[in-house]
């Protein structure tokens, strides 16, 4: 045991040093990337289940890295969360999504709901509501068409302050959605206390529809809970016609997934939207 302990130590150390160096390097690069404008938002269409029409989109961040190309969020969001850089990154994403909504409006596209992901770290900041209000005022975006997506981890300690700031966000005219519903481990009591308008059914549950009995049970329960609480539901990760048919027949209001479109850059999204609304 002692032998293996020493080996473990010997092998662990350089590996750990490497990881720490890597982390610090990514953090430094990411800090620069936010300042120099290497981040991009891609937009994934959301479809009204009843009409099949485009009804909104979700803004998803990418990093256009000068050497490594277009990086998906999994490769840098965890570093951003660890380092706190998610706060300026998230503010950038909110501002950019608001600006894009205004650009689309000016270009004559029909009004679109734009959903933006907000990290728990952002919500916990005292100045969050003020920041959002400032971004809305500076960009001229329509708050009624901006949705903030939060995950259950942001609600783990639903303090009176948190509840108050949610109410203030709603008073600003924004919509709040609960992302990755069912994957966290908080109690359902926050659904009663917080002004959440939409639930997003996580892709991990949509995956097994319509055959996997557990996924069917969780999806039906979510849909009926939402109905009883007068909330809307968006299913994410819809990839097949069968999933679409199933979800529509169960009263799911909106869908998002590769069946309709992957997240698209601004230009491609504009073309996609025009083709479908012409």
As given in the structure block, the two tokens for residue 270 are 């504009």
Phi and psi, residue 51, nearest 5° = -100, -15
List the one residue from 73, 210, 251, 265 that touches ligand C2E (CB under 6 A). Answer: 73
Question: What is each CA distance from 167 to 114, 159, 160, in whole angstroms?
Answer: 20, 13, 10
What does 257 bind: Ca ion, ligand C2E, none (CB cut-off 5 to 8 Å by kind)?
ligand C2E
CB of 262 to ligand C2E, least distance (A): 6
Q: Are 145 and 113 in contact (CB under 8 A)?
A: yes
* By the rule CB under 5 A, 152 interacts with Ca ion: no
List the one residue from 45, 182, 253, 257 that touches ligand C2E (CB under 6 A). Answer: 257
Q: Are 68 and 30 in contact (CB under 8 A)?
A: no
List the one residue from 101, 117, 119, 139 that touches Ca ion (CB under 5 A). Answer: 117
* By the rule CB under 6 A, 72 interacts with ligand C2E: yes
**Around 21, how many Cα atoms within 13 Å sit in the side-chain half-sphere?**
6
* By the rule CB under 6 A, 88 interacts with ligand C2E: no
Question: What is each CA distance from 165 to 25, 49, 110, 136, in whole angstroms?
Answer: 35, 31, 30, 16
Site size toward Ca ion (CB under 5 A) is: 4
CA distance 207 to 239: 8
CB of 142 to Ca ion, least distance (A): 20
List the one residue from 63, 179, 219, 255 that touches ligand C2E (CB under 6 A). Answer: 179
Long-range (24+ apart) CB contacts under 8 A made by 183-188 are: 183/152, 184/151, 184/152, 184/153, 184/155, 184/156, 185/152, 186/152, 186/153, 186/155, 186/156, 188/225
Scanning 29-37, 129-137, 231-239, 268-276 for contacts with ligand C2E by CB under 6 A, the matching segment is: 231-239
What does 86 bind: ligand C2E, Ca ion, none (CB cut-off 5 to 8 Å by kind)?
ligand C2E
Instruction: Please list every residue from 91 through 150 that binds ligand C2E, using CB under 6 A.
Output: 93, 117, 119
Scanning 24-32, 127-135, 241-249, 256-264 for contacts with ligand C2E by CB under 6 A, the matching segment is: 256-264
Q: Give the burial class of 14: count Cβ atoms within 10 A of its Cβ; 0-12 exposed, 13-18 middle, 19 or more buried.
A: exposed
* By the rule CB under 5 A, 179 interacts with Ca ion: yes
**Where do contacts with Ca ion occur on this chain (CB under 5 A)?**
117, 149, 179-180
**Where do contacts with ligand C2E occur on this chain (CB under 6 A)?**
44, 60-61, 72-74, 77, 86, 90, 93, 117, 119, 179-180, 203, 236-239, 256-258, 263
């Amino acid at each position: 045991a002692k032998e293996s302990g020493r080996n473990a130590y010997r092998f662990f150390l350089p590996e750990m040093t490497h990881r720490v160096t890597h982390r610090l390097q990514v953090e430094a690069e990411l800090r620069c990337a936010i300042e120099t404008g290497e981040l991009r938002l891609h937009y994934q269409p959301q479809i009204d289940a009843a009409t099949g029409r485009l009804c909104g989109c979700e803004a998803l961040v990418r990093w256009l890295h000068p050497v490594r190309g277009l990086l998906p969020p999994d490769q840098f969001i965890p570093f951003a969360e660890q380092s706190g850089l998610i706060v300026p990154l998230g503010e950038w994403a909110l501002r950019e999504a608001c600006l894009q909504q205004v650009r689309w409006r000016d270009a004559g596209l029909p009004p679109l709901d734009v959903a933006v992901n907000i990290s728990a770290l952002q919500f916990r900041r005292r100045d969050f509501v003020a920041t959002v209000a400032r971004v809305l005022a500076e960009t001229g975006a329509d708050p009624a068409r901006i949705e903030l997506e939060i995950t259950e981890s942001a609600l783990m300690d639903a303090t009176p302050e948190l509840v108050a700031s949610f109410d203030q966000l709603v008073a600003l005219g924004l919509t709040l959605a609960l992302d990755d519903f069912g994957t966290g481990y908080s109690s359902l009591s926050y659904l009663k206390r917080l002004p959440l308008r939409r639930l997003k059914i996580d892709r991990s549950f949509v995956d097994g529809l319509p055959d996997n009995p557990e996924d069917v049970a969780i999806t039906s329960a979510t849909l009926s809970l939402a109905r009883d609480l007068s909330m809307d539901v968006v299913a994410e990760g819809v990839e097949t016609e069968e999933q679409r048919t199933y979800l529509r027949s169960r009263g799911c209001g909106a869908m998002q997934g590769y069946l309709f479109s992957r997240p698209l850059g601004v230009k491609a999204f504009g073309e996609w939207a025009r083709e479908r609304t012409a």
